[in-house]
């Protein structure tokens, strides 16, 4: 329903009993958006204009907006909530503890110990997130070849490229957006690159 709001930051509320919030005014309407501490630190200061990517959560007992400083975190927030047992609070905590790239890398590596250091995420929950989220990020049926013949790299593991492509597809990017991003990412990453490094460079390119 909503993609982002662009307006003036009226108030930031950090570590309240109910969580972290930012109020942004757009066209004389103030929107109260739940977020996390990392997002509050990334967005502009009170009284200045900012753009925040949002997700509308609608359940029987709750309806509210959650927001992030970039599209990737917002999309990961939505994907996280598709995991059984992961709701708004856990998803916000995970994206407070990890950047989007770090979280994806942690899941790909199946590092349950690292995931469980997020507040409220135990070992059992971490393993469930890896089991369900890795399938969504990696076992993506749609694959598309990227021509890397003109990139000056000695060797590129095609599985690393495919894994990075799958994650970008799951984040909602189109094939037309992904192909040049992957190409630039491989070139910048250099030799002996990994799927995590390709993904990091590609997301940096796409965010420009």
Q: What is the pLDDT of residues 130-140, one digit of tens each?
A: 998 887 766 54
Q: Are 98 and 118 in contact, with CB atoms under 8 Å apart? A: yes
Is 145 a member of any domain?
no
Of the three residues 21, 40, 68, the one that is the final residue of a domain is 68
* 173: in domain: yes
The answer on 121 and 110 residing in a single domain is: yes
Looking at the structure, tell me whether residues 64 and 75 fall in a common domain.
no
90 and 121: one domain? yes
Q: Are the C-beta atoms of 166 and 143 separated by less than 8 Å? A: yes
Tens of pLDDT, residues 22-80: 999 999 999 999 999 999 999 989 999 999 999 998 877 778 999 999 888 898 899 89
**Residue 86 to residue 129: CA distance in whole angstroms:** 8
Top pLDDT among 190 and 178 is at 178
Q: What is the DSSP string of 18-33?
A: TEEEEEEEETTEEEEE
Tell me if 172 sits within 8 A of 73, measured CB to CB.
no
- Tell whether 77 and 131 lie within a shared domain: yes
Do 82 and 132 fall within a single domain? yes
Of the pLDDT bands very low, low, confident and very high (cuts 50, 70, 90), residue 163 is confident
Q: Please state, in angstroms and rounded to a whole number, the distance separating the CA atoms of residues 3 and 133.
A: 23
pTM of this structure: 0.72
Which residues are paired to 31 by β-bridges? 24
Identify the three-state secondary structure at position 196. Answer: helix
Say yes or no: 52 and 96 in one domain. no
Task: Flag whether 149 is in a domain.
Answer: no
């Amino acid at each position: 329903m909503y993609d982002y709001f662009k307006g003036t930051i009226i108030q930031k509320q950090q570590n309240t009993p109910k969580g972290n919030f930012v109020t942004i005014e757009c066209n004389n309407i103030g929107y109260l958006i739940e977020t996390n501490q990392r997002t509050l630190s990334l967005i502009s200061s009170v009284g200045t204009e900012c753009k925040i990517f949002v997700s509308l959560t609608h359940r029987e007992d709750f309806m509210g907006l959650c927001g992030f400083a970039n599209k990737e975190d917002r999309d990961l927030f939505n994907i996280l909530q598709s995991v059984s047992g992961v709701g708004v609070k856990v998803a916000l905590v995970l994206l407070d503890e990890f950047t989007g790239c770090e979280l994806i890398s942690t899941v790909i590596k199946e590092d349950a110990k690292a995931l469980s250091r997020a507040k409220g995420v135990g070992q059992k929950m971490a393993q469930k997130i890896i089991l369900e989220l890795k399938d969504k990020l990696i076992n993506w049926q749609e694959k598309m070849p990227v021509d890397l013949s003109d990139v000056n790299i000695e060797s590129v593991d095609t599985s690393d490229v495919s894994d990075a492509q799958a994650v970008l597809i799951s984040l909602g990017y189109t094939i037309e957006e992904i192909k040049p991003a992957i190409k630039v990412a491989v070139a910048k990453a250099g030799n002996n690159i990994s799927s995590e490094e390709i993904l990091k460079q590609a997301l940096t390119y796409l965010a420009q």
